[in-house]
Amino acid sequence: MTTEINKVSSLTDLPHDILGAAYKAGIDAKEEGRSGTYMYVDHSRVLSQVNKRFKGKLELLDTTEALKKYSWLKDYYFGLVDAEIDEPTKRVDEKFGGFFLRILPGAKIDFPLQSCLMISSSGLKQRVHNIIIAEEGSEASVITGCTAHPDARSGQHTGVSEFYIKEGAKLNYTMIHNWSDDTLVRPRSVARLGDNSTFISNYVLLQPVKDLKMYPMVLFEGVNATAGLNSIVYASRGSCVDMGSGIEFNAPRCRGEIISRVIALEKARVTVRGIIKGNKSPAKGHLECKGLLLDDSAIIHAIPELVGARKEADLSHEAAVGKIAEKEIIYLMSRGLSRDDATSIIMKGFLDVGILGLSNELQSAVEAIVDKVASGM
């Protein structure tokens, strides 16, 4: 049964259990140091507001409202993600929520915007469609927390996200997943980069999930564009994770990097895919995957792919899957730490938040989540 959550004017007006679940996904309840907040629970938007300081610099609406307000937005709706790619994606068009974010031309947003997409009831099928447009010369960062209420033991989330990064724009987008053990998750994301633009996409998964399949793509359509796709994953308790990232160089003088850090244990199955296609040159791309297995019941399958179609495309990859070196543990134990504490420290170092390229404030928030998980290993 769907929980009815009334619309509020502030996150602190929400029930404590809802607020607690959002906090675990990186959401700041006080909204301090945030340029705006979007909160979506089950099938309803409960909060969408922009900090007064940034009025006229960015726009934040429910996607369904934005489509009614702007006729031109129809050209962006399913403009990058193929609506026919699979059955869950097809059904997003039937009934959906999600947010429309537009950073206006030349706007420099020094506070991150935050959004939270939550399932609060067991068995619920949530569908969202997010459209993010970074206009020419704009700069902003976004942190999105996708999470489940503790009482929502099962559910299904399908999320379409389309990013339009226009000429000279810079966007750092961080997504944190904190689902329940029995949740089916299907994110569908594609970004289009214009001339001289920069896009950083970060993904963090630190809690068990039943089945997750995602493969975000970045299309380099403008010259001198740059992108970084980074993932930090801690898979446990039988989680099945099929994740990957893809880059297509369709314009010259572009640079892209894909970096993944994966820890697996307790019968988790993790497939890490990555592909870089050099369709135009000169272009430089690098793909890197490192995985740690903490027991013999888990599996990490790394699948890096490089496709060079131009002689000046400089593409490289490296992948490594192994265990924690015993000598590292022994060294830390010699300094007075227990084996468990030594292992925890090594794990925190491996899940290096520094690869995400976050602002100091956001880095501290994500580090706190990583520390909490590592301390319970």
Q: What is the pLDDT of residue 375?
A: 62
Q: What is the pLDDT of residue 270?
A: 97
- The dihedral through the CA atoms of 136, 142, 146, 149 has a sign that is negative
In a domain, residue 2? The reply is no
pLDDT at 344 over 90: no
Q: How confident is the model at residue 139 (pLDDT cuts 50, 70, 90)?
A: very high
Q: How do residues 204-241 score in pLDDT, each as one tens digit?
A: 998 899 999 999 999 999 999 999 999 999 999 999 99
Q: What is the pLDDT of residue 131?
A: 98
pLDDT at 67 over 70: yes
- For residues 168 and 281, membership in a common domain is answered with yes
- For residues 374 and 238, membership in a common domain is answered with no
Token pair recorded at residue 103: 């950073």
For residue 288, report the phi and psi dihedrals to the nearest 5 degrees: -140, 130
Least confident among 140-149, 279-288, 323-332: 323-332
- For residues 21 and 150, membership in a common domain is answered with yes
Least confident among 237-251, 311-325, 330-344: 330-344
pLDDT at 197 over 90: yes
For residue 357, report the phi and psi dihedrals to the nearest 5 degrees: 65, 40
pLDDT at 369 over 70: no
Share of the chain above pLDDT 90, in %: 72
Q: What is the pLDDT of residue 32?
A: 82
- For residues 259 and 360, membership in a common domain is answered with no
- For residues 250 and 269, membership in a common domain is answered with yes
- For residues 164 and 33, membership in a common domain is answered with yes
- For residues 159 and 308, membership in a common domain is answered with yes
Q: What is the pLDDT of residue 357?
A: 67
How far apart CA 244 and CA 229 sit, in angstroms, is 10
Q: What is the pLDDT of residue 154?
A: 93
In a domain, residue 88? The reply is yes
In a domain, residue 3? The reply is no
In a domain, residue 343? The reply is yes
Residue type, 101: L
Q: What is the pLDDT of residue 1?
A: 39
262 three-class SS: strand
Average pLDDT over residues 56-82: 96
- For residues 76 and 126, membership in a common domain is answered with yes
Q: How confident is the model at residue 359 (pLDDT cuts 50, 70, 90)?
A: low
- For residues 63 and 175, membership in a common domain is answered with yes
How far apart CA 354 and CA 369 sit, in angstroms, is 14
How far apart CA 329 and CA 327 sit, in angstroms, is 5
Which of 325, 348, 366 lies at the terminal end of a domain, its last residue?
325
In a domain, residue 84? The reply is yes
How far apart CA 199 and CA 164 sit, in angstroms, is 10
For residue 74, report the phi and psi dihedrals to the nearest 5 degrees: -60, -25
In a domain, residue 293? The reply is yes
Q: Which of 11, 51, 47 is nearest to 35 (CA)?
A: 51
Average pLDDT over residues 299-303: 96
Share of the chain above pLDDT 70, in %: 95
Size (the chain), residues: 377
Q: Are strands 99-103 and 124-134 parallel, antiparallel or unpaired?
A: parallel
In a domain, residue 91? The reply is yes
Q: How do residues 87-130 score in pLDDT, each as one tens digit?
A: 889 888 877 899 999 999 999 999 999 999 999 999 999 999 99
- For residues 131 and 259, membership in a common domain is answered with yes
Q: How many CB atoms lie within 10 A of CB 6?
A: 9
Q: For residue 262, give its domain range.
A: 11-325
Which of 325, 351, 368 lies at the terminal end of a domain, its last residue?
325
Q: Which of 18, 21, 24 is nearest to 376 (CA)?
A: 24
Q: How confident is the model at residue 4 (pLDDT cuts 50, 70, 90)?
A: low
Q: What is the pLDDT of residue 2?
A: 43
- For residues 280 and 217, membership in a common domain is answered with yes
Provide the number of structural domains found in the chain: 2
In a domain, residue 81? The reply is yes
- For residues 319 and 336, membership in a common domain is answered with no
